[in-house]
Amino acid sequence: MLKYALLGFLTYTPMTGYDLKHQFAVVAASFWHAEVSQIYLTLKKLEAERLVTSQIQPQDDHPDRRLYTITDRGRHDLRAWLSEPITELPPIKQPVLLKLFFAAPMEQAELLAQLRLLRNLHLQKVSYYRGPVLAHIRGTAQRHPHLAKDARLWEATRRFGELSHEMSLRWLDEMIAMVEERW
């Protein structure tokens, strides 16, 4: 799947692996995550599949950059993937829920401390999505008016992040209340 994330970003403009890393850190964190090593490896595979091409750009004061450009085949591949509808939801893997499910042997105070810590993490995320992420999307949209449609889609993914952390917050409030009241 990382494959399509990389192809997707390369439709905007040619980029290096390093640039793509930043895309993941800044814009894509709300829906995907990738380690740098994996990005470089996958770019190599994409080039072998002829979905991207690359040229080395020598630089004087910095290491050389390898700039990747999406090919027509790459665009076609991405487009085909977009057309495939998702017919079943991916299986859930939630470490938090796994822990909570088997938390019976824990002490009340210990569990409450963990739930409150978690609550804090989600709270931070909510303000992150409402603050810097929103600002970044609006800023980019204003600077590049031709990306107006894209910007609405970015906003859609941002909104998901906001809503989902809000939901976790509500859920944790319920859980904390439950554990406080009866354990």
Binding positions for DNA, rule: CB under 7 A: 1-2, 16-19, 22, 33-38, 40-44, 59, 61-67, 91, 93
Q: How many Cα atoms sit within 13 Å of 118 on the Cβ side? A: 22
Residue 63 CB, nearest approach to DNA (Å): 4
Q: Which residue number, 56 or 121, has a Cβ lying nearer to its own copies? A: 121
CA–centroid distance for 105 within its chain: 35
**Residue 29 contacts its own copies per CB under 8 A:** yes
For the chain, how big is the Rg over CA atoms in Å?
21
Phi-psi region of 70 (alpha: psi -120 to 50; beta: other; left: phi over 0): beta
| Residue 16 structure tokens | 């290096």
**Residue 89 contacts its own copies per CB under 8 A:** yes
Work out what residue 122 binds among DNA, its own copies, none; the CB cut-off runs from 5 to 8 Å by kind.
Answer: its own copies
Task: Please tell me the distance from the alpha carbon of residue 101 to that of residue 92, in angstroms, as a whole number.
Answer: 14
Helix (H) or strand (E) holding 70: strand 65-70
Considering only residues 49 to 78 of the shown chain, the ones binding its own copies according to CB under 8 A are 78
Work out what residue 26 binds among DNA, its own copies, none; the CB cut-off runs from 5 to 8 Å by kind.
Answer: none
Burial class (CB in 10 A: 0-12, 13-18, 19+), 5: buried
Work out what residue 159 binds among DNA, its own copies, none; the CB cut-off runs from 5 to 8 Å by kind.
Answer: its own copies
Considering only residues 133 to 172 of the shown chain, the ones binding its own copies according to CB under 8 A are 149-150, 152-154, 156-157, 159-161, 163-164, 167, 170-171
